[in-house]
Chain A
Amino acid sequence: MTLIQVKNVDFGYSATRQILSDINLEIAPGDTVGLVGESGSGKTTLLRLLLGLARPDSGSITFDGQNLDTGNRAFMRQFRRQAQIVFQDPYSSLDPRQTIFSIIAEPLRSLKIDGDHRQMVAEALEAVGLDRDAATRYPHQFSGGQRQRIAIARAIVARPPFLLADEAVSALDLTTRTRIVDLLARLSAEMTLLFVSHDIGVVAALCRRIVILEKGRIVEQGETAKILKNPQHPYTQRLLASVPRLSVNEISS
């Protein structure tokens, strides 16, 4: 069973600038996958392809066995219910002029999901550890960590089976980061999570599987514990060596 299958995907914004080359990736339902690479390695671009916001130049992406065809409106409408994203910057990911309710309820309205939206938004807020009273306030009234919780609430309110997080904890301070990672870990019990990060420590704590991306190519992928114990590719070895005070024993336990 695979939820997402990426086969021989190439992508470039122009003919001279190749961003992704020959990407092959499979994500099983319920899995937690960490996508690791440094800035400019193509992580965010790969996410955009997986979300159907851009189309690969060649190769194919399938979701639940169906081709991710951005031109197929009926399929895309169905797909939008299945995959949601949390961004890195909690300041630019929430519309400053909308109430928290409007922000979180947007997927419910746009995807025409039936039910009591007030109740669903309240449940989503509680699921991310915020008070349901938050719904009437505006983003500027919250801290960075709280905003990230709001962004997560928006991503999970329509109960998508697939959640993508693009550097979702990178802009947060250490203690907030730990709490958000805990929250994502809790959520990942019920959904498939693709967690993109340059921080291998966070990925180690959160993800069962890991995919290492270097300059638009996947250089290594597999179970997190195995790869961290015995990295094969020189880039992975360098990446691990650059992490301060990361003991492999700690990770596997």
Chain B
Amino acid sequence: MTTEIITAPQRQRRPLILWAGLILVGLHVFAGLLSLIWLPYDPTAMAGGRLEGPSLLHWVGTDRLGRDLFTQMMIGSRIALTVGLGAVAIGAVIGVTLGILSAFATRWLDDALAATLDILIAFPTLLIAMLVVAASDTANLWSAIIALGIALSAIVARLTRILAKRVLVMDYITAARTSGSSWPKIVAIHILPNIWPTLAVNFALQFGLAVIAEASLSYLGLGAPPPNASWGRILQEAQGTVYTAPLGAIAPGIALVSLAIGVNLLADGLRDFIDPTRRAR
């Protein structure tokens, strides 16, 4: 029984959350897609003086090599979205599959899987990602994405396992079995639809985590190599001049936070919008 009481003012607030999420994520998606076909300046060339403040020509100023920061921020949006989507997709596919298998497994196998997942989760996501990136000889964007995806999959798997087990004891699963539905079919039409609202919100959280983790990797020099302008690398480069040109550090920070918040609002809003049990009677 998962009946939740949603009071009237809360219900009215929901579209607002959805819109706020759509706008924040939309801005990043727009900037990221636009960066594929058009950029205000060449991201690797000097476009103005060094460490210029914001002006009409350079909206967030220039870095210490005189490159336009806004141009780099746009590329950063694209990289952040690629990393977030890629890592969550990998984490979701591996995690959901493992979680469902674990929920169906015999007690012994299930315990073994659960223990393995707990051990994996005990390591910070960033640490696992650093290990994987360090172990691969060529540091590129995809090694970071795969590393983060693997790290996230443990969290997704554990959550999926718990959620699936909760659904499996429901009478409608027994009814489906006596109706002749096969287990794969039961997973597809009963288990996944009933666990995905919770999973979706979790994926949004993971998306934020992945974006921040990639920024951290780049900050540490383990992310995508130059000229990929990851927000983490912009931040790292601006670190030395943070007192003379603070915008170079503030701008990528705001971009990171706005994307992470935006994705979470979007997931929250979408879940309420799509989930029939949360809609008004």
- A51 in contact with B178 given A93-B172, A96-B2 (CB within 8 Å): yes
Determine whether the beta carbon of A53 is less than 8 Å from that of B172. no
Enumerate chain B residues within 8 angstroms of A111, measured Cβ to Cβ: 179-180
A159 within 8 A of B: no
A140 within 8 A of B: yes
Enumerate chain B residues within 8 angstroms of A141, measured Cβ to Cβ: 281
Report the minimal beta-carbon distance from B188 to chain A, rounded to whole angstroms.
12
- Select B281's contact among A80, A83, A84, A140, beta carbons within 8 Å: A140
Report the minimal beta-carbon distance from A114 to chain B, rounded to whole angstroms.
15
Determine whether the beta carbon of B179 is less than 8 Å from that of A106. yes
Contacts of A27-73 to chain B: CB distance below 8 A: 51, 53
Interface stretch, picked from B129-137, B189-197, B220-228, is: B189-197
Determine whether the beta carbon of B277 is less than 8 Å from that of A96. yes
A149 within 8 A of B: no
Provide the bound-state CA to CA distance between A84 and B189, in Å: 19
Report the minimal beta-carbon distance from A214 to chain B, rounded to whole angstroms.
25
- A92 in contact with B178 given A97-B194, A98-B189, A140-B3 (CB within 8 Å): no
Determine whether the beta carbon of B179 is less than 8 Å from that of A84. yes
Report the minimal beta-carbon distance from A152 to chain B, rounded to whole angstroms.
11
Provide the bound-state CA to CA distance between A170 and B180, in Å: 26
B11 within 8 A of A: no
**Chain B 104-128 near chain A by CB (<8 Å), digits 1 or 0:** 0000000000000000000000000
Select from chain B the residue with minimum beta-carbon distance to A95: B172
Provide the bound-state CA to CA distance between A106 and B185, in Å: 11
Report the minimal beta-carbon distance from A73 to chain B, rounded to whole angstroms.
10
> Can you offer 20 A-B residue contacts whose CB atoms are under 8 A?
A53-B174, A80-B180, A87-B171, A89-B171, A91-B1, A93-B170, A93-B172, A95-B189, A96-B2, A96-B194, A96-B277, A97-B193, A97-B194, A106-B179, A107-B179, A107-B180, A110-B176, A140-B281, A141-B281, A154-B175
Interface of B is mostly: helix
- A97 in contact with B276 given A106-B181, A110-B181, A140-B281 (CB within 8 Å): yes
Q: Tell me the count of chain A residues lying within 8 A, CB to CB, of chain B.
A: 31
Select from chain A the residue with minimum beta-carbon distance to B182: A110
The interface centre, meaning the residue of B178, B189, B275 with most chain A CB atoms within 10 A of its CB, is B178
Determine whether the beta carbon of B179 is less than 8 Å from that of A97. no
Enumerate chain B residues within 8 angstroms of A98, measured Cβ to Cβ: 189-190, 193
- A85 in contact with B178 given A92-B172, A94-B172, A110-B185 (CB within 8 Å): yes
Determine whether the beta carbon of B177 is less than 8 Å from that of A92. no
Provide the bound-state CA to CA distance between A95 and B177, in Å: 13
- Select B175's contact among A81, A93, A97, beta carbons within 8 Å: A93
